[in-house]
Amino acid sequence: MPPEASPSEASHTTCMFLLHSWGAGVGWVVVRQPRVNVTLYPDTAHPNLILSEDLKCVQWGDRRQDLPDNSERFDKEMFVLGRKRFTSGRHWWEVEVGGEWAEWAVSVARESVRRKGDITLNPSEGFWALQKTMVDTFGSFSDWQLSASTSPKLTVVYARSELRKIRVSLHYEEGLVEFFDGDTNNSIFAFPSASFSGERICPFFHLNLDSPLHI
């Protein structure tokens, strides 16, 4: 089944209030917007990623599955795309990202992103991501860093508490991608001037340890 192109109104019936930063200057507005029902797109998943039957959960497996090496599938990076495609409007969804030892990235991505070989998460590659990674502290990978995948280098960001749930907010026309703590509604980071170049945009997920992501 091909990816779903999404209109500006999401199909989910539950509405929530969403904090949303806008354009130039400093300001906030509360937007009432239905949550998008995001599912994973199996044809894009790296062979080590195991998807749940309802396509709402992904976890890492230590064995590479025997899956077709199609042109859409990521073959080296532990990535998977969501099935939804966006070309206009405001949209948001949430991802449960696990506990303290989880290593992950959540993002929006251009549909045309490369699928083969080494891939760096940054806007020039078509990714606008928030990620949690293990960092080298005094010769030992024992600490964690939360960062945004800005170019030419990452921007380290800070959350007020341990993140359990990430809300991803997309405003296509404004080129705005923003991440919130899904439990507190606190803004974590915003890409204020994403360049989508008229392309279809989709949800993106990455994990590198055995703590699953739930949509």
pLDDT along the chain (215 residues), means of 10: 52 39 42 84 96 95 89 95 96 88 90 96 95 70 81 88 91 95 93 89 89 91
Asked whether residue 153 is assigned to any structural domain, the reply reads yes
For 167, the domain range is: 12-214
Residue 3 within a domain:
no
pLDDT at 16: 39
Domain contains 138: yes
Whether residue 93 lies inside any domain: the answer is yes
In 3D space, the residue among 152, 87, 81, 101 whose CA is nearest the CA of residue 123 turns out to be 152
pTM of the model: 0.83
Q: Determine, yes or no, domain membership for 7.
A: no
Q: How many domains does the chain have?
A: 1
The pLDDT, as a whole number, for residue 142 is: 54
The burial of 203, by beta-carbon neighbours within 10 Å (0-12 exposed, 13-18 middle, 19 or more buried), is given as buried
The CATH number covering residue 44 comes to 2.60.120.920
177 is a domain residue: yes
| pLDDT value of residue 193 | 85
Query: What confidence score (pLDDT) does residue 55 get?
Result: 97
Q: Are 93 and 208 in contact (CB under 8 A)?
A: no
Is 152 within the bounds of a domain? yes
Q: How is residue 158 annotated by DSSP?
A: -
Is residue 85 within 8 A of residue 111, CB to CB? The reply is yes
| Phi, psi (rounded to 5 degrees) for 124 | -65, -25
Give me 70's structure tokens: 């199609």
In a domain, 6, yes or no: no
